[in-house]
Amino acid sequence: MGLPFSIKVYKQYFNFASSHFMIFENGTREPLHGHNYRVQVKGEAPELAGDMVFDFLDIKPIVREVCDSLDHKLLIPKDNANIKIHTENKNYVITTMDESLFSIPMTDVLLLPILNTSSERIAMYISEEIRRRVKARFGFAFNGLEVEVEETPGQSAVYVHREVT
């Protein structure tokens, strides 16, 4: 059950174009491909401070920064045991269980602290980044934060973080 007050932000510039491949439970992977992701955020609070949950002018740049950090990158889940990553010169060399080998410039890769690059896990990562940045800049914590990541029109995943009280 949601809290009494919430804000929802969804701007056209809350998007990023990234490539990835999922690693399945048996260690196989899907082909490398990309999506034009779109992001929507809903923040909840039990009461209002200054008649607002949180100022739209403060949350929008944070969501945009997080989206921009993912834009035009190959997203690699560094916490996945079925992927081996090492550096060679200025490249990440990535090996998967099916013996696929990728050598990609470090500037083109974002190693994410997640288990896989599913839309669900990407939504969780975005939620954690938004929460971290809001806390660092404003000393504020949403009691609930919902992040929706749409990978194609009509196909999205939602991650909901709730503060335990």
Within a domain: residue 104? Answer: no
Residues 146-158 have pLDDT tens digits of 999 999 999 999 9
Within a domain: residue 92? Answer: no
Count of structural domains, the chain: 1
3-state secondary structure of 132: helix
Residues 27-83 have pLDDT tens digits of 899 999 999 999 999 999 888 888 999 999 999 999 999 999 999 999 999 999 999
What is the bridge-based pairing of β-strands 74-77 and 91-96?
Answer: unpaired
Which pLDDT score is estimated for 3? 59
- As to burial, measured by CB atoms within 10 angstroms (0-12 exposed, 13-18 middle, 19+ buried), residue 12 is exposed
Within a domain: residue 126? Answer: yes
Within a domain: residue 115? Answer: yes
Within a domain: residue 102? Answer: no
Within a domain: residue 87? Answer: no
Which pLDDT score is estimated for 48? 87
Q: Which two tokens stand for residue 20?
A: 């990835």
Domain carrying residue 20: 5-81+111-162
Supply the Cα-derived Rg of the chain in whole angstroms.
17
Within a domain: residue 88? Answer: no
Within a domain: residue 90? Answer: no
Residues 91-107 have pLDDT tens digits of 999 999 999 999 999 99
CATH of the domain at 35: 3.30.479.10
H-helix segments, 27-163: 56-70, 119-138
Residues making up the chain, counted from first to last: 165
- Model-level pTM? 0.94
